[in-house]
Structure 1
């Protein structure tokens, strides 16, 4: 009778198994994280986060590790299983956030709400509350969203081009004061040299981004990635052909939008329509 195979105690959950294999392969080589950094070329902090399950990393670093360890295609297969797990939507968003913070240039189309990078504190709070967040988790998410604005600040901020559907400017908050502050912030942002703001008015007809928010990021390595989001899901897109298709669609929408001067005037008209709160 053939000997039964020994079942390992390693996790069957894709994300955990991926992290376990990374730790095991490095341990077998007797390498520190710093030594692995010197050998493979990526930062040791990234390897640490991947081995702890804090991030999955990208396909490039996983392929490099597979090649270095001589384990191909094990790590890339485990990575694909982990990324394909439907529970990993938040992980893909976290990876997008890392890329956003490092981007050399950003451009976005927004369907019904201002981009997270251009939201005021009160707008972010009402939007996240509408999404079901409460208490400490709500406070954390508001702080995180407002903290993202640092991407557009500093001595040499990246350029940011945004196209706002007119619906963004019509979909007001219940709190009149907070809505005025949001519109004022958009006007202020449009005056910054690194921010280009267009308005896409009603009446231009149907187009390829009618129901989809999309953000493009130009990265340090010259690549451009996209993040698309609708009412039920979001997706980080890195495949070159898909990104190029979205870029062409975005360019077509931009051609339909108002000029910069017309867009600024449009936002100011929306601001004038908001009733002023009575003085006390």
Structure 2
């Protein structure tokens, strides 16, 4: 049975209103309604656990959610791409050169490092990555802020020409009016996004989603509270990063060092 049906049955069997559930589980009433009607993506674990505790479901709500996660995993990236395509604002923190700013040759080398990938899959993924980059050329262009962890520059391709081409492209992108690039130096110390990469997307209607990546796995998050918390984390990392001007100087230095 789906999560949507389980939470609806629990509420109706107990004769509770949407507001009573919202008050008891300490979540928004409209959120409960949208969850039961299926008019939203899968909720975050905080909401699921709150509903499980409120209904004293002994893990049934959480279990149904976990089963759905297995099915949702396959299309999360597709849903992320759809959200990315319609976003008017993007904030990213990444421990590697992000796909949106990779050159074709660099993207091909990165994708080729996977041990089981075939040549056909490499071609397909490179084409997909380049197609995504067309978002940056649309009019009006989305406002993009990218925070690059300095660790992204620690591992370079063997081919110097490919690396120089990639750095030159980052410099060119950082000079575009709608793109801000900042480098987070290793000297900035510890922060709470070190375990992976984060993208936060805002649509024109003000709605936002977050996409968290790590170890080849991604999670799409649309719980407003979770997205807000991730935004605060991203803001904290940005505050520690080099200024856009200092970042350009850093990139030019990297380019000189690659000669």
Q: Which has the larger radius of gyration?
A: 1
Deviation (angstroms), 1:156: 1.2
Are the equivalent residues in 2 in contact too, given 1:169–1:267 (CA < 8 A)?
no
Pick one of 86, 92, 97 that aligns with 2:81: 97
1:60 and 1:253 map into 2 onto residues whose CA distance is 36
Are the equivalent residues in 2 in contact too, given 1:199–1:263 (CA < 8 A)?
yes
In the alignment, does 2:190 pair up with 1:167?
no
In the alignment, does 2:99 pair up with 1:123?
no
What's the TM-score once normalised by structure 1's chain length? 0.68
In structure 2, do the counterparts of structure 1 residues 136 and 259 end up closer, same or farther at CA, with 3 Å as the change threshold?
same
Counterpart of 1:63?
39
Paired residue secondary structure (1:92): helix
In the alignment, does 2:206 pair up with 1:222?
yes
2:37 and 2:169 map into 1 onto residues whose CA distance is 39
In structure 2, do the counterparts of structure 1 residues 59 and 231 end up closer, same or farther at CA, with 3 Å as the change threshold?
same
In the alignment, does 2:231 pair up with 1:231?
no
Counterpart of 1:72?
none
Counterpart of 1:273?
257
Structure 1 residues not aligned, in runs of 5+: 1-11, 15-57, 65-76, 276-280
1:212 and 1:179 map into 2 onto residues whose CA distance is 23
Deviation (angstroms), 1:201: 0.7
Paired residue secondary structure (2:73): helix
Counterpart of 2:128?
144
Paired residue secondary structure (1:203): helix
1:145 and 1:105 map into 2 onto residues whose CA distance is 19
Deviation (angstroms), 1:59: 6.2
Counterpart of 2:48?
none
Q: Give matches, 1:152-191, under 5 Å.
A: 152-191=136-175
Counterpart of 2:237?
253
Pick one of 202, 205, 225 that aligns with 2:186: 202
1:129 and 1:90 map into 2 onto residues whose CA distance is 21
What's the TM-score once normalised by structure 2's chain length? 0.74
1:269 and 1:83 map into 2 onto residues whose CA distance is 49
Counterpart of 1:244?
228
Deviation (angstroms), 1:82: 9.5
Deviation (angstroms), 1:131: 2.0
Deviation (angstroms), 1:154: 2.5
Deviation (angstroms), 1:61: 8.2
Deviation (angstroms), 1:155: 2.7
Deviation (angstroms), 1:62: 3.6
In structure 2, do the counterparts of structure 1 residues 224 and 60 end up closer, same or farther at CA, with 3 Å as the change threshold?
farther
In structure 2, do the counterparts of structure 1 residues 63 and 260 end up closer, same or farther at CA, with 3 Å as the change threshold?
closer
Deviations 1:153-184 (A, max 9, x none): 13311110000011112221122111111000
